[in-house]
């Protein structure tokens, strides 16, 4: 094998490695879905969106059915308005619920759709009425610490003679 053919093979190998790195970086940034199929837009209002970001997946039954396109604050209600694009092949009932969920214990957040039983379907531009905001881990820890502190305070404040032993 000549020197030129070895250099060509090494160059091809390096090029394939670089293409693999580009693909992995796009996949990690949720930009790997190049298909811009036929979609329709839905909105949902949340009290707290947590760490939800644009381009986050929208899933139903664990299957990705769309993407979050934008997040804004409603100036009147002070709620986060999440706009999503859903695959046009999938139509959801009007009583569908939207939740902000976390993938794993400390993973990325996504919007989960739970279909209802209504016969009427959501149309493009509709707003999902039933929503559940993100669970913020810091708030849960704070509530746990406060409840433990309150329990410890009530135990130490109990009178020492209550529930005493048998006296003859």
pLDDT in tens, 77-133: 999 999 999 999 999 999 999 999 988 777 788 999 999 888 999 999 899 999 988
13 inside domain:
no
150 inside domain:
no
Largest CA distance in the chain: 107
Q: How many residues does the chain have?
A: 168
Does the pTM exceed 0.75?
A: no
75 inside domain:
yes
Contact residues for 72 (Cβ-Cβ < 8 A; gap 6+): 80, 81, 83
pLDDT confidence of residue 34: 44
pLDDT confidence of residue 30: 58
- The structural domain count of the chain equals 1
Query: pLDDT tier at 41 (50, 70, 90 boundaries)?
Result: very high
The residue among 35, 166, 60, 48 whose CA lies nearest residue 112 is 60
The answer to whether the CB of 113 falls within 8 A of the CB of 58 is yes
Count of CB atoms situated within 10 Å of the CB of 31:
10
The residue among 114, 53, 104, 38 whose CA lies nearest residue 83 is 53
Task: Decide if pLDDT at 36 tops 90.
Answer: no
Domain that holds residue 92: 35-144
pLDDT confidence of residue 14: 93
139 inside domain:
yes
pLDDT confidence of residue 155: 63
């Amino acid at each position: 094998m000549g020197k030129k053919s070895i250099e060509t093979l090494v160059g091809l190998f390096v090029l394939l490695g670089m293409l693999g790195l580009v693909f992995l970086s796009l996949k990690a940034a949720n930009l790997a879905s190049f298909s811009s199929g036929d979609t329709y837009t839905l909105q949902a209002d949340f009290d707290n969106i947590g760490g939800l970001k644009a381009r986050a997946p929208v899933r139903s039954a664990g299957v990705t059915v769309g993407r979050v396109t934008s997040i804004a604050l409603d100036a009147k209600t002070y709620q986060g308005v999440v706009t999503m694009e859903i695959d046009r092949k999938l139509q959801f009932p009007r009583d569908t619920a939207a939740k902000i969920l976390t993938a794993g214990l400390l993973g990325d957040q996504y919007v989960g759709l739970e279909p209802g039983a209504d016969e009427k379907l959501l149309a493009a531009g509709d707003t999902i009425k039933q929503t559940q905001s993100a669970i913020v881990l810091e708030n849960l820890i704070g509530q746990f610490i406060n409840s433990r502190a309150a329990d410890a305070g009530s135990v130490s404040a109990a009178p020492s003679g209550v529930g005493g032993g048998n006296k003859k």
